[in-house]
Amino acid sequence: MRKVAVILSGCGVFDGAEIQEAVLTLLHIARSGATYQCFAPDIMQMHTLNHITGEEMQPNRNVLVEAARIARGDIKALSELNAADFDAVILPGGFGAAKNLSDFAVKGAAATLQQDLLRACQAFAAEGKPAGYICIAPAMIPLIYAQQPQLTIGNDADTAAAIGALGGEHVNCKVDDIVIDKRHKVVSTPAYMLAQSIVEADTGIAKLVDAVLTLCK
C-alpha cells in the first residue's frame, strides 16, 4: 500500500491551505487505496486574515495548529517528516504555500522556502520519489529541483514570469489538466488558480493524485 505525505500550510485559502484542495487531495489518495499522513510546519503564519472581509486579524495563528483542523487532529510537525517513510509527497495550494511555506507572495522571483519544507521536499527529490504540487504551490518547484523543472500554475503571465526567473519552465495548462515532468517525477495542476467551482478543481486534483501514485516505483 502506497503512503503519501501531504504538506499543509495552515487552514484557509487567503492565509493557509486551500481547504477544498486539501480535502479533495486526501479523498483521492484514500479512494485510490493509498494512505496519507498530514504534516505542517510548527511556525506562526505570515498573518491571519478574516475570510469574510479580507482584513488582518489578531492574534496571529500557528500553521500546524490551524492545519490540524483539516487533518482532524491527525497531523505531525513538518520537522518530523522523513522521506524514507513515504512513497510520495503532495502539497495542496492556498496562499499559505506562498506565505508560510515560502515567501513567494512577497518576494516573487527572489523567493526562498521555509527550512523544514525545503529539507523535506529536497529529500523526496534526492530519493527520486514523485511529488504533486497544486494551485500556487508549484511556484516552489524551481527552488527544489534543478535543471529547469516543468510545471504549471495555469496561465497567469506574471506568475509564470516569476517562476521562469526562479529557474522553472512554466507550461500553460487548462483547469482540468495536469503537467507531468517525467524527468523529475513532479506533477502540477492549476486547481483554484483557474477553477471557478469545486467540481473544476476536483478534476485536475484527481488526475494529479493518480499520476503521482502511478509514478511511484
Tell me the C-alpha to C-alpha distance, in Å, between residue 95 and each of 18, 22, 34, 130, 187.
7, 13, 27, 23, 19
pLDDT digits (tens, 9 = 90+) for 88-145: 999 999 999 999 999 999 999 999 999 999 999 999 999 999 999 999 999 999 999 9
User: What interhelical angle do 19-31 and 63-70 show, nearest 10?
Assistant: 50
Q: Give the β-pairing of 56-57 and 48-49.
A: antiparallel
Neighbouring CB atoms inside 10 A of 42's CB total 16
CA 105, distance to chain mean position in Å, is 14
Options 3.40.50.880, 3.30.300.30, 3.40.50.970, 3.40.50.300; CATH for 3-215 is 3.40.50.880
The answer to whether 173 is a known catalytic residue is no
Residues 6+ apart with CB under 8 A from 4: 29, 34, 35, 36, 37, 86, 87, 88, 89, 90, 212, 213
- Is the pTM value of this prediction over 0.75? yes
Task: Write down the catalytic residue from 121, 135, 173, 216.
Answer: 135
Give the whole-number percent of the chain exceeding pLDDT 70.
Answer: 100
Question: Which whole number is the average pLDDT over 145-163?
Answer: 96
Please report the pLDDT score of residue 217 as a whole number: 75
pLDDT tens digits for range 156-210: 999 999 999 999 999 999 999 999 999 999 999 999 999 999 999 999 999 999 9
pLDDT mean over 4-13: 98
